Structures are given as C-alpha cells and as structure tokens.
Amino acid sequence: MSETSRIKNFIRKIKTDGKTRLLAVIACIVALLLIIGANVLSGSDKSETASDPVSEYVYSLERKLESLLAKVDGAGKVSVAISVESGMETVLAMTTTTKETSAGREIVSTPVMVNGKTVVLKEKYPEITGVLIIAEGAGSISVYTKIQQAALSLLNVKVGQIEILTMK
C-alpha cells in the first residue's frame, strides 16, 4: 500500500469512525500543547527581557551584581533580585512660547521635532526600590558587611532597601 493511499484511508476513517475522530482531535490538541509548551519553556529570562528595556536593564544589573558579589572573599554562590519603580521616564526637548489670549497670557510648551521625530534629551531608568541578595557566605558578619557595602556603593540605595540572606 502506498503512502498516499494510507493517508487517504486514515482520513476516511477520521471522517466515518467516531473513535478515530476523537483520537485525531486529542492528538492535535496534544501536539498544539507541546508546541506551545516548548515555546514557553525555551524562552529564557533574557528573551523575555529583550522587548522591555526596563526588564533588560534590571536583568543586566542583577547578573552584574551577582558576578561581582560572588568574587567577594567568602561570599560563595550569590543570587540577586532587584525591584524597581514601574516605567522609564523620557525627558523631551521642549520649546516654550507665550500666547496672548482674552484671559491674559498663556504659556504653551511643545516638543521639539526634527525630521518628524520628537527630540529625546535623556531617558531615565526607574529608581531601585529593593534589592534581595542571597549568598552562601552571608552567615559570616564580615562577608555580610562586605556584600552590603558593595551593594550600597554600586546601586546607590539606602541600607533599608537591601535584604541579605544566607543561601541554604
């Protein structure tokens, strides 16, 4: 029996046999779920952050801090999580004009446009609101202090915004 006739025979069974139809539907659903699951599982933290500059920024900070803190004598393995305020702040170039109205003077600000695009002066990443550091060596007061001082210096945050725990 040729491959084409096997396929035609299978399609005929799907059309006429209720059990075969049910099995085919279940097989399609399982295949779809496997494809969706594979896409979700194959997406790493990095791929999720690629589309969001704030997430990418935070991810990069976390990895850099982990790498640096792991080099502290006695720190051992280190994991870092950083939380930030939501959203980036974009500062646009603005022009200000004064307009005379019947009610008096009105000040009007409009963004500066060059070649149809708004001129961006700077983009400010959101402020760090909290840092969680988990380190194998954090049980030692000297290691704990070194980790805390490094995080304070690097991230320019307050002591109360940093939590350091010992890794199990």
> Mind giving me the DSSP string for 40-70?
HHH--HHHHHTT-HHHHHHHHHHHHHHHHHT
pLDDT at 36: 76
Q: What contacts 145, CB < 8 A, 6 or more positions away?
A: none
Instruction: Give the count of beta carbons closer than 10 Å to the beta carbon of residue 79.
Output: 16
> Distance between terminal CA atoms of the chain?
62
Distance CA 145, CA 35 (A): 47
pLDDT at 161: 94
Is the pLDDT score of 89 beyond 50? yes
Listed residue (90, 88, 100) closest to 52, CA to CA: 88
Can you tell me the mean pLDDT for 15-22? 69
Distance CA 32, CA 34 (A): 5
pTM of the model: 0.58
Backbone angles phi, psi at 31, to 5 degrees: -60, -45
pLDDT at 47: 46
The per-residue pLDDT for range 110-159, each reduced to its tens digit, is 888 889 888 888 888 889 999 999 999 999 999 999 999 999 999 999 99
Confidence of residue 41 (pLDDT cuts 50, 70, 90): low
> Which residue did the predictor score with more confidence, 84 or 44?
84
What domains lie within the chain, and their CATH numbers? 3-42 (no CATH), 48-88+125-166 (3.30.300.30), 90-122 (no CATH)
> Which residue did the predictor score with more confidence, 24 or 104?
104
Instruction: Give the count of beta carbons closer than 10 Å to the beta carbon of residue 166.
Output: 14
Listed residue (152, 165, 85, 161) closest to 130, CA to CA: 161
Q: What percent of the chain has pLDDT over 70?
A: 80
pLDDT at 28: 66
pLDDT at 48: 46
pLDDT at 76: 94
Burial (CB count within 10 angstroms: exposed 0-12, middle 13-18, buried 19+), residue 154: middle
Rounded (5°) CA angle 27-32-34: 95
List 98's β-bridge partners, or say none: 107
